Amino acid sequence: MTLWTAKEAEAATQGTLSGAADWSASGVSIDSRSINPGDLFIALAGPNHDGHDHVKAAIEAGAAAALVHKVPEGCDGLPLLQVADTMTGLQDLGVAARARTKARILAITGSVGKTGSKEMAALALSAQGKTHYSVGSFNNHWGVPLSLARMPADCAFGVFELGMNHAGELTPLSKMVRPHAAIVTTIEAVHSAFFASTEEIADAKAEIFTGIEAGGHAILPRDNRHFRRLATAAKAAGVKHIQSFGSHIDADARMLDCAVDPEDTAVFALLHDHAIAYRVGVPGLHWGMNSLAIVLATGALGGDEVKAAHSLAAMRPPKGRGERHQVVWKSGMVEVIDESYNASPVSMKAALSTLAAARPGKGGRRVAVLGDMLELGDSAPALHANLAEAAALWGTDLVCTAGPLMKNLHDALPQGRRGVHAANSTELAAMIKDVVRAGDVVVVKGSAGSRMAVVVKTLLEG
């Protein structure tokens, strides 16, 4: 399949072709280490690495051509598309990809739940038409245009995750994506080191409405205390249709009951005042709640809401966001729940509630292995210590911790629930095998910077 011809890419970027000018690209990549034959390699230049140093290697690995803003040494005669700046060139490709498609576009943001909701939306919409969606958490100034540039022109639907750490970051992304519908999953005290209040976070997330197409839809969390602030911002941006999801009596998709089982989540809801029951193939109240937003979004994009709801039984958690592993452990088995990708106070509590629904084996316990939550500002010590209440509420048997911030939780735990503490995840990984025993269910969670994936790796080795 041809994604970009040389002439199309040249026109999109206003660049200049050199070397062979009759190439066609079947993909777009910014990483020379993962080039697929036929990719267009974008040589991005960053503070520590310059993609131009890897152009020759990318071509040798099978790249159809490279987008550059200078001709690297030894690359004369290679198929190149030269532009003034490769980041701008990538953005231009993304804008051109969006302009040429008739796909109905969904954008998703929120303090937590963006990637999982994006994956649910991709699953639901793929059952109703050809769907393109961003991979992983490609949700920033380079991830969004890269995801757009990879979108085939003939898609029926596109799903894009938009993220931010600071005010002003979502506006250009939304205007690039130009969604027909936008979901805000929730507003919480995440990245609070960069904001004075959750009101400021809500305002920054509301920037997603600035790029919504005429006649578009905003889908908002009705139970969140910033719902009215978000709705007001959506109206001010000219959004015509505002829908909501949650347990609130006025929600368009209203949760009546949510039963979390060890393997999945049963949802009982009113959808536009009509009863619906379905299952989401991942355990967790937050998965059930966000699934309501996906159902509404499917309808907003012209799809079948009921079909979307029932398709979510096939949902599986993205990597590091609730993956479950059965590990042979000494004389039995241990279940490892990998939540190591990221963490915030609200997602930590969600992980502990999911752990509560798990069923340990004979003699087993519910064990939480937690790393620091980052970017929480001056309130970080208290927010970590307060997790002791959540651990008690959800019946966690043992809590092991890593990092200077998690020491606050360790000290706040009662003796019977207090496990080992280590200075960092590497030290905790060396200790954890002596703590875990057969029959345990272990959830591992922390901010990406706390590197709790090393603990997961150790546990999976058995």
192 — pLDDT class (breaks 50, 70, 90) = low
459 vs 462: CA distance, rounded Å: 5
Q: What is the pLDDT of residues 282-331, one digit of tens each?
A: 999 999 999 999 999 999 999 999 999 999 999 998 889 899 999 998 88
DSSP letters, 45-81, are: B-SS-BGGGGHHHHHHTT-SEEEESS--TT-TTS-EE
- Do residue 178 and residue 276 come from a single domain? yes
CATH code of residue 84? 3.40.1390.10
- Do residue 138 and residue 282 come from a single domain? yes
196 — pLDDT class (breaks 50, 70, 90) = confident
Between 431 and 392, name the one with better pLDDT. 431
Residues of the chain above pLDDT 70, percent: 100
Domain that holds residue 350: 323-460
Residue 95 lies in a domain: no
Q: What is the pTM for the complete model shown? A: 0.90
pLDDT(191) > 80: no
Name which of 15-19, 137-141, 395-399 the model is least confident about. Answer: 137-141
Residue 383 lies in a domain: yes
278 vs 445: CA distance, rounded Å: 28
137 — pLDDT class (breaks 50, 70, 90) = confident
195 — pLDDT class (breaks 50, 70, 90) = confident
83 vs 44: CA distance, rounded Å: 12
171 vs 93: CA distance, rounded Å: 18
Radius of gyration, alpha carbons of the chain: 23
- Do residue 307 and residue 339 come from a single domain? no
- Do residue 390 and residue 284 come from a single domain? no
Cα 24-30-34 angle, rounded to 5 deg: 85
What φ, ψ does residue 130 adopt, rounded to 5°?
-60, 125
- Do residue 85 and residue 201 come from a single domain? no
- Do residue 327 and residue 307 come from a single domain? no
pLDDT of res. 83: 97
Name which of 165-169, 236-240, 328-332, 433-437 the model is least confident about. Answer: 328-332
In eight-state DSSP terms, residue 212 is P
Choose among 243, 240, 236: nearest CA to 210: 236
245 vs 232: CA distance, rounded Å: 16
Q: What is the pLDDT of residues 100-136, one digit of tens each?
A: 999 999 999 999 999 999 999 999 999 999 999 998 7
pLDDT(36) > 70: yes
**Last residue within a domain, chosen from 38, 62, 89:** 89
DSSP letters, 277-325, are: EEEESS--HHHHHHHHHHHHHHHHTT--HHHHHHHGGG--PPTTSSEEE
297, with CB counted inside 10 A (0-12, 13-18, 19+), is: buried
> Could you give the number of structural domains in the chain?
3
Residue 205 lies in a domain: yes
pLDDT of res. 439: 96
pLDDT of res. 462: 79
140 vs 135: CA distance, rounded Å: 12
pLDDT of res. 393: 84
- Do residue 61 and residue 184 come from a single domain? no
For the chain, give the mean pLDDT.
95
- Do residue 148 and residue 264 come from a single domain? yes
The answer to whether the CB of 306 falls within 8 A of the CB of 348 is no
- For 339, other C-beta atoms within 10 Å of its C-beta total 27
Residue 420 lies in a domain: yes
299 vs 317: CA distance, rounded Å: 23
